[in-house]
Chains A and B, each alone.
Chain A
Amino acid sequence: MAELRSTLIEFFNQSFLRESSADLLRNVPGLPPILQTIHLLGAAILLGSVVMFCLRLLSVAARNQDPLEMRRRLYPWFIAALPVMLFSALPFFLARPQRYLTNPVFDIKMAVLTITLGLSFWLWQRSRTVSADTISVSLRLHALLVTAGWILTVLAGRWIAYADYIFWTG
């Protein structure tokens, strides 16, 4: 595991994208907060699409809307948000790979994100024939997990910058 980590750090450190990303973030005025805001707006779209759909399945939000229709309407927003999330985050990662690859909170975020993404796609698949009166308990539990997963992902994202508060090594 430690070896994989150092290989990854070395790989990204040698990438020609490191210099160019770092230059871009340093030299374009206001680029860091602009990219971060795009990332946050993408998170808002994720919460507004997949999490809102989960909350509907849980009968917590939008109870008068048909879940199947919601699924059809919100799925494209979920898909569209993913590349936005990736590309608004990538320059930061590429410019300082070490900062992220040695950060335990980043590990947690990536693990939770991977699981939550998988669970989300599975949920969209499972709900292809959902109707308002036949939301099973297992589908509701699934929706609850996905909701918790996205909330954790957002929180962990913010905590990357605060890793020292939990993992203080002195």
Chain B
Amino acid sequence: MLETLLHHEFWLSLEYLPLAEQIGATWLFPLVNSLHVLSICLMLGALFMLDLRIAGVAARQYSIQQLERDFLPWVWGTFVVAVVTGVALFITRASAHVLNPAFQMKMLLMLLAAINMAFFHWCFRYNRNSVDSGSNRLSSKLAFSAVLSLLLWAGVMLAGRWIGHIV
């Protein structure tokens, strides 16, 4: 099933989109690529600040809620740019990328990061009162999730960088 999906001609047809050909054949490719890297670095810069606070390592004088208000808009804004530029890069070589183990690993790690984020929000939302009173069991759960987020996103970056080394 997955095998058929990955070999489907849909991926090849993406590469023949006028937009994909335009990007792949011009200076748009390096431009989009560098914007992809820039947006990811900014995104992780903001996300890591938040994760390190939740893990109890940095900026403990601020509440988690306040840092979320300060940094989450940056995380999401830059994430959107990273996704748009990522798709633009992907369609230029879609059929090769879906079969690239580094690309597959990157998608898997992003899925795990999304699940981890959902777990975090679930813990946070249903225990808001105990967060404020500093419950230890809850904050260690949240800290675990934050450290996991750091590791998963570092892994996403590694897998992403690795894509270019497998041609």
Residues in A lying within 8 Å of B, measured CB to CB: 30, 32-34, 36-37, 40-41, 43-49, 51-52, 61-65, 69, 73, 151, 154-155, 157-159, 161-162, 165-166
* Chain B contacts with A in 146-167, Cβ cutoff 8 A: 154, 157-158, 161-162, 164-165
Contact at B37–A37, with CB atoms within 8 Å?
no
Min CB gap B69→A, angstroms: 8
Min CB gap B47→A, angstroms: 9
Query: Chain B residue with minimal CB distance to A164?
Result: B30
| A40 CB contact (under 8 Å) in B30, B41, B48 | B41
With A61-B70, A73-B59 as given contacts, are A32 and B165 in contact (CB-CB < 8 Å)?
A: yes
Give the size category of B's interface with A. 20 to 34
Contact at A37–B38, with CB atoms within 8 Å?
no
CA A162 – CA B37 in complex, angstroms? 14
Contact at A33–B161, with CB atoms within 8 Å?
yes
Q: Tell me which residues across on chain A come within 8 A of B29, comparing CB atoms.
A: 162, 165
Contact at B38–A154, with CB atoms within 8 Å?
yes
With A48-B44, A52-B49 as given contacts, are A65 and B62 in contact (CB-CB < 8 Å)?
A: yes
Q: Is the interface of B mostly helix, strand, loop or mixed?
A: helix
CA A65 – CA B34 in complex, angstroms? 30
Query: Chain B residue with minimal CB distance to A44?
Result: B44
| A48 CB contact (under 8 Å) in B30, B34, B46, B154 | B46
A-B contact pairs, 18 of them (CB 8 A): A33-B164, A37-B154, A37-B157, A40-B37, A41-B154, A41-B157, A44-B42, A45-B45, A48-B44, A48-B45, A48-B48, A51-B42, A52-B46, A61-B70, A61-B74, A159-B30, A162-B29, A165-B27
Q: Tell me which residues across on chain B come within 8 A of A47, comparing CB atoms.
A: 41-42, 45
Min CB gap B85→A, angstroms: 11
Min CB gap A9→B, angstroms: 25
Q: Tell me which residues across on chain B come within 8 A of A36, comparing CB atoms.
A: 161
Contact at B49–A158, with CB atoms within 8 Å?
no
Q: Is B124 an interface residue (CB 8 A)?
A: no
Q: Is B131 an interface residue (CB 8 A)?
A: no
Q: Tell me which residues across on chain B come within 8 A of A65, comparing CB atoms.
A: 62, 70
CA A32 – CA B162 in complex, angstroms? 9
| A33 CB contact (under 8 Å) in B41, B43, B158 | B158
Min CB gap B78→A, angstroms: 9
Q: Tell me which residues across on chain B come within 8 A of A46, comparing CB atoms.
A: 41, 45
CA A59 – CA B71 in complex, angstroms? 13
Q: Is B133 an interface residue (CB 8 A)?
A: no
Q: Is B136 an interface residue (CB 8 A)?
A: no
Min CB gap A100→B, angstroms: 17
Min CB gap B43→A, angstroms: 8
Greatest chain A CB density within 10 A among B29, B34, B45 is at B45
